[in-house]
Amino acid sequence: MSRSSSVWRGLGAALLAALAATVRPAAAQSASVVGVVYDSLITRAALADAQVNIIELGRIATTDKRGRFRFDSVKAGTYTITFLHPALDSADVSAPELQLVVPAAGTVVTPLATPSPATTYSRLCGMATESKMGAIYGRVRSAADGKPAPGTRVFGTWLDFLLVGTRVKRSWREQGVVTGKNGEFILCGIPTDVAVDIRAAHGVLAAGPVQVQAGEAMIAHIDFTVPVADSGARMLAGDSGRALRPDSAPPPGSSVLTGTVREHDGKPIADALVGVMGFSMNARTSATGQFALTRVPAGTRTVQVRALGATPRNVTIDFPENQRFEMVITLEKRPPTLATVAVQGTKDGGDIPHSSTGFASRRKLGTGRYVTGDDIRKYGAMSLVDAIMIAPGVRREWSSMGPSVSIRGSKGQCTPSMYLDGMNLSTGERGAITELEQFIRPEAITGIEVYPGPFIPPQFDRTSVTGCGSIVIWTRR
């Protein structure tokens, strides 16, 4: 072979190699897709543990605790992206499907969000939302075995205010619905601007109340467990749900609650009052912050915790039947503040005790009903309401504003005016005792006067405004 032929073969091989290099497929280019899933329905915050799905690629990413997600190595193209979350499933609401355009390289930021409250209300309730109206949805399960509880009635009660002429008329409103075959419920037409007590009743046994105020969110989510064999949760005949047992002690429940109340730094809070909303049961914490509540009815209950100098707290707990539940409750400490009040009056001498209050003189007249400090110690009252209940004819009640008492007036049961050491604190306002219970211990009470009417001392008479009597509490002599 000649030298020239060898040269041409070498040049040909080099040319073929160069040509092959020019037609070799380029490395596939890709981009990243990142974003945050936001819950605009309930928490109004980033949504953790949501499953984000790029449908055409079959790729799924789970959001972290800050609602963030990320997909790497996504090929250029146009796709559909959406997400799933159990909260949406329980409300039978689906997240929107959005178009996702991915370039050949770079990072695509794609924010995702649940449907707006107005859209969700329309889907849940089949109607456009009204002003200051929302919905509550969830599922009800048995407190015995955790199985769905179909046929359970879920209902909300709240206090409605209506201006009639120059007077404000108060009335109780109620809205209810029955759970479906999987225990699901959707309660529509619930006001968002007031607190609403939500309960679930399976036959004569009820769970709750749980207080809800949806506010701007419009949509709230609550899951209930209902008792099936705990007689302590039995409602009174004809009870509308505003109180489970307002007058008498409930039969024993089957659950026990023990725990500790403490500050954020772990310091125990002594002498805190722990009770179960809707029932006449409470306990005070020891020096180590420990407490125990026995005979708690099974089902979903609201545990109320109050302590002097701390922000009150309500905790919702699902109590299983015939079991013990233990928890640690943390309160936010705050300095107690009371408005400055100037009181003018004349001293009425000669009374023993309460020489400056006239308590003994009025007690001798017998126009009202009277409770002394000795009575409070004798009956072992554990709260302000317990002390007031010693007086005959006083009825304990529960509302969305907390514990309250009523007496029989000229037109039936009514909420009396409240006085503390001669100062008028409320004029027949329901729930006024809630704030008083935070700083008035039963042992600090030296006397209570209850006046259903018509013979109310003039200085304690507000019947022209309330149509009801008055309760006067004395904490000093």
Domain spans of the chain, in order of start: 31-115, 116-243, 252-337, 359-474
Whole-angstrom Cα distance, residue 49 to residue 418? 49
The CATH fold of domain 359-474? Ferric Hydroxamate Uptake Protein; Chain A, domain 1 (2.170.130)
Averaged in consecutive runs of 10 residues, what is the pLDDT profile of the chain (477 residues)?
50 46 56 91 83 94 94 95 81 81 93 83 76 85 93 87 61 87 90 84 89 72 89 60 41 86 92 82 90 91 84 88 90 62 45 65 88 85 85 75 74 82 70 67 88 84 80 81
| CATH class of residue range 252-337 | mainly beta
Q: Which residues make beta-bridge pairs with 424?
A: 419
Nearest Cα neighbor of 233 from 282, 175, 301 is 301
Cβ partners under 8 Å of residue 208, min gap 6: 197, 198, 199, 200, 224, 278, 299, 300, 301, 302
Do residues 469 and 456 make contact, with C-beta atoms less than 8 angstroms apart?
Answer: yes
DSSP strand pairing (133-142 vs 224-226): parallel
Name residue, tokens 């400056």: 356
DSSP, residue by residue, 31-100: EEEEEEEEETTTT-EE-TT-EEEEGGGTEEEE--TTSEEEEEEEESEEEEEEEE-HHHHHTT-PPPPEEE
SS3 content of the chain, % helix, strand, coil (to 5): 15, 40, 40
pLDDT for residue 367:
85
- From residue 424, alpha-carbon distances to 210, 254, 417 in Å are 31, 41, 7
pLDDT for residue 49:
92
Radius of gyration of the chain (CA): 33
pLDDT for residue 310:
81
Can you say whether residue 266 is alpha, beta or left, with left for phi > 0 and alpha for psi between -120 and 50 degrees? left
pLDDT for residue 393:
84
Whole-angstrom Cα distance, residue 444 to residue 437? 12
pLDDT for residue 20:
47
Q: Which residues make beta-bridge pairs with 346?
A: none
| CATH class of residue range 116-243 | mainly beta
The CATH fold of domain 31-115? Immunoglobulin-like (2.60.40)
Whole-angstrom Cα distance, residue 225 to residue 386? 29
**Residue type for position 423:** M
Do residues 477 and 402 make contact, with C-beta atoms less than 8 angstroms apart?
Answer: no
Q: Do domains 116-243 and 252-337 have the same CATH topology?
A: yes
